[in-house]
Structure 1
Amino acid sequence: MASCKQSQSICAEMICGCLLQHGLRNTENVLDVFQLALLCGFPRFSVISHHMIMKHFKQLCATEAWIFMQSRPFLEKKKT
């Protein structure tokens, strides 16, 4: 079972990396990338996505993905 979780994590990291590398991260999927990065523990991807979220905050607040994220507080970044 551990190898299954590990391969899922590697797959998720590859997806995030591909989105960033090919410039495919946009205001439509940045919240999805951010959530995936937080859930899978990819700090680099979460920081990059967080910067884009802050830059386009007003536009993103009106999206369905934002409403989804707000309705699930466990997806918010933990304050340390």
Structure 2
Amino acid sequence: MRVLYFAWVRQKVGLAEEEIAPPPEVRDVAGLVAWLAGRSPGHAAAFAQARQIRAAVNQEFATPDAPVAAGDEIAFFPPVTGG
């Protein structure tokens, strides 16, 4: 699974992307967020307020209950504002 981080999420994690192999019980975006938060202090800081982070699975916006699987590309980013 390839995970991409953008904007302040990337700054807190300290990586732009990483290849991961989460355990089988990680089946959706929310489970992935919870698992990632335990990987390092930077991950914990980035996902401390998970409601402020948006996700995309294979370049499609995803809700916390969206399924994830090996081989997927998951992106995490802050909400986008425009004007």
Q: Which has the larger radius of gyration?
A: 1
TM-score normalised to structure 2 length:
0.24
Higher-strand-fraction structure: 2
